Homo-oligomer: A and B are copies of this chain.
């Protein structure tokens, strides 16, 4: 039989344990900050009726969306972001969801992007949103949560760029799309794009003179933090924003914004007879991981396994298995090496996996109800009575 070449699709990734552990670490941190502010989890399907998603993300969105026909002939699409599904949910369960609705959602979205550095076809988004409140307090809280999340991840120097979409009311959409690229491609190229589109390039200078309106001033004054900065040229790509728009820049990391969001007071109304205001923020998870990596903010050890109990011989398997069991009962994550193999090979395995402690129970240890504990970092090793083992593991 022919072998099937093991491979992944372009723009799709496997996360092996080392990477997956880092991701889990960041997710856990975000979840805990989100929940500390009263945001609750929501899950929506990966597949939606295509019509739910179509027409919400602008021209580019239509091109990048994964769409197909299922076996029942339904036109379906893979989740493109988490905001439109949220809007659908709020409209669909209006009788059972008490407003205000504060939810977080952490799940994958799919976009047929041209893969390049930091851009993938499957990527995780971490969203918080508040629906049902138009008060600036909700805009301020969204920014506050984003800032606290960054701090809890170890970031110290970052900027929260803010602007108000309503300041762009008279600017043609075509111009906006070009201005949105300012951070990525620079002023010269944006001016060139504008000219090409037949738009007066003075529009850019005009925008730069914009002042924050009353609403944005209120939001900024509620937060009172120098890292929140009014940026009149900030535009944000998505169609559905109506008020506040936000983008986060981390100093020392120039691969792009690690997150963004804004107010979208008309989106839920597309699915409902009610108009329900909403504001939200989304972390771009890959960028966040990249930034944490680059700034060396991951703790030295993000291992989950603390101890490897080796298997000395078939005859002593019971001793190893029972010792591991005892350590687990003390709350220590413990793996048993399940195969008969040379001790060298077992130690090498612990090393490769970054497991900090190894326990060896040979015939001498077995006779005296003890175990040898080896610290894999320092190389130090001691033989201890079994009942002192767990307290010697730090």
Is A154 interfacial (CB-CB < 8 Å)?
no
A14 CA / B48 CA spacing, docked (Å) = 11
Q: Which residues of B contact A98 (CB under 8 A)?
A: 349, 352-353
Q: Does A71 contact B (CB under 8 A)?
A: yes
Which residues of chain A from 341 to 381 have a CB within 8 Å of any chain B CB?
Answer: 349, 352-353, 355
On whether the beta carbons of A43 and B15 are closer than 8 Å, the reply is yes
**A4: which B residues are within 8 A, CB to CB?**
51-52, 270-271
Q: A7–B92 contact, CB under 8 A? A: yes
Q: Report how far A7 CA is from B41 CA in the complex, Å.
A: 20
At the interface, yes or no: A21 with Cβ under 8 Å from chain B?
A: yes
A 1-49 contacts with B by CB, 8 A: 1, 3-10, 12-17, 20-21, 23-24, 35-38, 40-49
User: Copies per complex?
Assistant: 2
For residue A133, which residues in chain B have a CB less than 8 angstroms away from its CB?
338-339
Is B9 in contact with A141, judged by CB distance below 8 angstroms?
no
Verify if A227 is at the interface (C-beta below 8 Å from B): no
Establish whether residues A20 and B40, one from each chain, have CB atoms under 8 Å apart when the complex forms: yes
Residue of B23, B42, B47 touching A15 (CB-CB under 8 A): B42
A270 to chain B, nearest CB (A): 6
Q: Determine the distance from Cα of A357 to Cα of B271 in the docked complex, in whole angstroms.
A: 34
Number of interface residues of A (CB under 8 A): 90
* Docked complex Cα distance between A112 and B108 (Å): 20
Q: Is the CB of B135 within 8 A of A340?
A: yes
Contacts known (A3-B271, A98-B349, A328-B36); A17 close to B103, Cβ less than 8 A: yes
Minimal beta-carbon separation of A160 from chain B (angstroms): 18
- A76 and B9 contact, Cβ closer than 8 Å, known pairs A16-B97, A98-B352, A305-B35: yes
Distance in angstroms from A76 CB to nearest chain B CB is: 6
A272: contacting residue among B6, B10, B97, B122, CB under 8 A = B6
CA distance A13 to B317 in the complex (A): 46
Question: Is A42 a contact partner of B14 (Cβ separation < 8 A)?
Answer: yes
29 A-B Cβ contacts within 8 A? A6-B52, A6-B271, A6-B272, A7-B52, A8-B49, A9-B49, A12-B45, A12-B47, A14-B89, A17-B103, A20-B40, A20-B42, A23-B43, A24-B41, A36-B333, A37-B335, A38-B308, A38-B334, A38-B335, A38-B336, A46-B110, A68-B69, A70-B112, A71-B112, A98-B352, A132-B339, A135-B339, A137-B338, A141-B338
Going nearest first, the 8 A-B pairs with the smallest beta carbon separation are A38-B335, A17-B40, A68-B68, A6-B92, A12-B45, A15-B43, A20-B41, A6-B91
Q: A13-B45, A14-B92, A98-B352 are in contact. List 7 more A-B contacts (CB 8 A).
A: A6-B92, A7-B49, A16-B96, A20-B43, A23-B41, A133-B339, A141-B336
A residues within 8 Å of B by Cβ?
Answer: 1, 3-10, 12-17, 20-21, 23-24, 35-38, 40-49, 51-52, 66, 68-72, 74, 76, 78, 88-89, 91-93, 96-98, 100, 102-103, 108, 110, 112, 121-122, 130, 132-133, 135, 137-138, 141, 270-273, 304-305, 308, 317, 321, 328, 332-340, 349, 352-353, 355
